[in-house]
Amino acid sequence: MKIQRVKRGRNHWYIDLDTGQKFDGVTTITGNGLPKPALLNWAGEATAEYAVDHWNDLTKLSTSERLKKIKGGRYEKRDAAAAKGTEVHKLAERLAAGEKVTVPDHLTGYVQSCVRFLDDFDLRQVHTEAVVYSETQRHVGTLDLIGDVLLPDMPEYDHIGRRDDGYSRGLFDWKTTKSGIFGDVALQLSPYRFSEYLITGDGDVIDMPDVDFCAGIHLRPDGTYGFVPLECGEDQYRDFLYVKEVARIVGSLRDLVGEPIVPPTASTYVLAKADETEEVPF
């Protein structure tokens, strides 16, 4: 495999240049193959919130336009959150690399939480925004960060490996959602961890580095953060591969339906209107 990441606007996908085959990323796979009941509640709440927040503007529209706006309201909220998350990711990437950044006012709290995390754990960046893939299991994705951190000397962290310099190497994912870190993030990081290859910033393909643990980093708008370890072992990787198969099945369901069958000849049956005065036997 020779993987290339293709980006168009806010979307991206992956292509195997050797075969021309297009691959969905790990996040797309988990989104298509993993049920998320919480999204049903979110959709209802987001729609209701949009209607209440824009009530005065909506009353000025025709009924059909009002309905259209309300139906699309949750997508506006989702897209705004996604755009904010992308901005924070880019700033976090640069901060982890030791760069200085100019911070928009509406992102100040998130950047403060990122800086606090980097300082508290003395993070040393190893790889950032790196494409990783598996030739064996045919999956690909882009990880946020591999870095070395200095963990506290406390018994609850004894199971996490330490390098000769006392630091632990982790595979991390930045999150800016209100709800924090959920278990599905483990199914996202597991295939990254068990990928076979990583493409460096210089374009070189190397063996996927070993890490001592995985974690989500929840950046909040109030300047605080959560550093949450995740179970991303072989069991979770196997679960991801099941999810991958479910996503494949869901994506191929339309192919199971054929075209309607057309009768070979015109019908010889004729429908006639019954005489309303004629008694119909039962």
Predicted confidence (pLDDT) per residue in 61-79, tens digit: 888 888 888 888 777 777 7
What b/e readout covers 206-230, taking b as 16+ CB neighbours within 10 angstroms?
eebeebbbbbbbbbbbeeebebbbb
- Tokens 């989500």 identify what position? 216
Q: With 60 as the cut, is the pLDDT of residue 56 above it?
A: yes
Q: With 60 as the cut, is the pLDDT of residue 189 above it?
A: yes
Cβ–Cβ under 8 Å, residues 193 and 171: yes
Report percent pLDDT > 90 for the chain. Answer: 49
Least confident range from 47-56, 140-149, 228-237, 240-249: namely 47-56
The pLDDT-based confidence of 3 (bands split at 50, 70, 90) is confident
Q: With 80 as the cut, is the pLDDT of residue 236 above it?
A: yes
Question: How far apart are alpha carbons 229 and 217 in whole angstroms?
Answer: 9
Among candidate residues 190, 175, 179, the one with its CA nearest the CA of residue 236: 190
The answer to whether residue 81 sits within a structural domain is: yes
* Structural element, H or E, at residue 113: helix 108-120
DSSP 279: P
Q: With 70 as the cut, is the pLDDT of residue 220 above it?
A: yes
Read off the pLDDT of each residue in 19-34 and give the average, rounded to a whole number.
88
Q: With 60 as the cut, is the pLDDT of residue 50 above it?
A: yes
The answer to whether residue 276 sits within a structural domain is: no
> Which pLDDT belongs to residue 281?
57
According to DSSP, the β-strands at 22-23 and 11-16 are antiparallel
What is the domain range of residue 117?
3-251
The answer to whether residue 274 sits within a structural domain is: no
The answer to whether residue 47 sits within a structural domain is: yes
Read off the pLDDT of each residue in 133-144 and give the average, rounded to a whole number.
93
Least confident range from 2-6, 36-40, 103-107, 112-116: namely 36-40
Q: With 80 as the cut, is the pLDDT of residue 279 above it?
A: no
Read off the pLDDT of each residue in 256-274 and give the average, rounded to a whole number.
79
> Which pLDDT belongs to residue 74?
76
Q: With 70 as the cut, is the pLDDT of residue 228 above it?
A: yes
The answer to whether residue 270 sits within a structural domain is: no
What is the distance, to the nearest Å, from the Cα of residue 240 to the centroid of all Cα atoms in its chain? 13
- State how many domains the chain has: 1
The answer to whether residue 262 sits within a structural domain is: no
The answer to whether residue 273 sits within a structural domain is: no
> Which pLDDT belongs to residue 47?
84
pLDDT tens by residue, 91-132: 888 888 888 888 889 899 999 999 999 999 999 999 999 999
Report percent pLDDT > 70 for the chain. Answer: 94
Q: With 90 as the cut, is the pLDDT of residue 238 above it?
A: yes
The pLDDT-based confidence of 191 (bands split at 50, 70, 90) is very high
Read off the pLDDT of each residue in 178-183 and give the average, rounded to a whole number.
86
The answer to whether residue 257 sits within a structural domain is: no
